Structure 1
């Protein structure tokens, strides 16, 4: 159980990984918030969405790596990092709507999206609620139904308390370093615990998606492997190739020996599966 509590702590202490210093950031008004974001690189646009309790620096090396071939727009969600909080629950549909409004504010009509954990679920809702805004979606460590979480995590959710997180210095100290309101951490924790308890059953919506999705999961992730495969099948995957039919647009990648918090640190493996997906490249079989 304590390992699950430390899930976000491991991400928060991860330092930034910019070789020449971080790109200059900016703020834009989105749904009553001042949303902080950074733009780096050049090329086709890619919106990057972080996980719960995280921020842009704690995403580590993946953002600068993706910026080598893409124009990356990395934003910080409601109450996270340098983005202000508002009097509103944090829900996946609300986060998705925030991303769509952010894209309006910075002049992005459509973009590829890469989300991790909470950001992946927000990205999935973005594709469901605003399909015209998403070209391709990369969803790392995601579930579409509460039944897909590992049993140990589902059992732990009712035991989560605000005090549990506030009493861990690594959480509060990392929050204060960037937060617009240094005293706002307990309220953020309350909202994120409530998010864990929100109903989540998006199977029908996922099955109706036309957006290509790359599902990335660790083989010891917070979602079960069976759930990731079920998600892939809802998106049209899981059939046999080499039978004369084109492969589905969506894809599934399982990272070996990788827990939930380790997924975002597997930079080389992530890029190795993300880049071909975004470019539409597929390995050729012997019958092609």
Structure 2
């Protein structure tokens, strides 16, 4: 599939590729996903307001060695969501249900931002589904101790502007629901991370919107983990440093052993 695009000289339309796109109806929602490559399953989960297209700089690399499943999370992209609310628990359960639908016992998981949060929640709620997880730009709770001041103030303004509005347009209503997800959630304790059985790779940029001390605390609270703070990088680590990012995450997934985190 990728080869046919390469041969034609066309760019692969990730996130809107009829040759790779599929729908699965699970848990009352119609999830859109695209598949690429052959090998061990690798689930890609994008961030808030994004789509599977966000992995356009990563899919071709991983498809050389993995069976990539790039998901549009519920209420995002081509995936539907009739519910009035949204939670990371819902999205993690969707991921588990999608893997079951695809007859995949477990998968490697790579999540960016909200996708990284979803990956952690998936490992907590469905440990049997996660071989290893990589999470870049994830946070455990929504406040100024986890998020950098600029982002937190921006979110506060957004909430004040929208809280008294009545959204009748379906798109604006959905956008508000997606915004509220990050305003109200997640609520994961550092202590809970000790229950994650899968090895984890915690990643952030040195200029990320997640406070560096928060990223460090996530890493230190996991039983087995790697930590990588990318220099000269913002929240978009997988875009700004795609080649290094792809190689490093692949090396983590293929490492023979992940040592326990020392304190």
Q: Compute the TM-score of the two structures, normalised by the length of structure 1.
A: 0.76
Q: Which residue does 2:135 correspond to in 1? A: 139
Q: How does 1:253-272 map to 2 (within 5 A)?
A: 253-272=228-247
Aligned pair count? Answer: 238
Per the alignment, do residues 68 and 184 of structure 1 end up closer, same or farther by CA in structure 2, a change over 3 Å counting?
farther
8 Å contact from structure 1 (residues 217, 263) kept in 2: no
**Residue 204 of structure 2 corresponds to residue 210 of structure 1:** no
Per the alignment, do residues 155 and 125 of structure 1 end up closer, same or farther by CA in structure 2, a change over 3 Å counting?
same
From 164, 174, 181, give the equivalent of 1:195: 181
**Residue 41 of structure 2 corresponds to residue 45 of structure 1:** yes
Q: Which residue does 2:261 correspond to in 1? A: none
RMSD of the alignment, in Å?
2.4
* Cα-to-partner distance string for 1:10-33 (whole Å, 9 max, x where unaligned): xxxxxx953999442110101111
Q: Which residue does 1:6 correspond to in 2? A: none
From 59, 83, 105, give the equivalent of 1:63: 59
**Residue 221 of structure 2 corresponds to residue 234 of structure 1:** yes
Q: Which residue does 2:151 correspond to in 1? A: 153
Q: Which residue does 2:94 correspond to in 1? A: 98
8 Å contact from structure 2 (residues 29, 74) kept in 1: yes
**Residue 226 of structure 2 corresponds to residue 251 of structure 1:** yes
Per the alignment, do residues 58 and 224 of structure 1 end up closer, same or farther by CA in structure 2, a change over 3 Å counting?
same
From 265, 276, 279, give the equivalent of 2:254: 279
Distance 1:98 1:139 in 2: 18
CA positional deviation for 1:156: 2.2
Worse-matched range after superposition: 203-212 or 255-264: 255-264
The list of structure 1 runs, each at least 4 consecutive aligned residues, that deviate by more than 6 angstroms after superposition, is none
Instruction: State the SS of the aligned residue for 2:78.
Output: coil
Q: How does 1:180-191 map to 2 (within 5 A)?
A: 184-191=170-177
Q: Which residue does 1:221 correspond to in 2? A: 208
CA positional deviation for 1:75: 1.0
Per the alignment, do residues 89 and 214 of structure 1 end up closer, same or farther by CA in structure 2, a change over 3 Å counting?
same
Q: Compute the TM-score of the two structures, normalised by the length of structure 2.
A: 0.83
Per the alignment, do residues 155 and 161 of structure 1 end up closer, same or farther by CA in structure 2, a change over 3 Å counting?
closer
Worse-matched range after superposition: 34-43 or 49-58: 49-58
CA positional deviation for 1:163: 7.6
Please list every run of 5 or more consecutive structure 1 residues that lacks an aligned counterpart in the other structure.
1-15, 165-182, 237-248, 284-288
8 Å contact from structure 2 (residues 230, 237) kept in 1: no
Per the alignment, do residues 262 and 211 of structure 1 end up closer, same or farther by CA in structure 2, a change over 3 Å counting?
closer
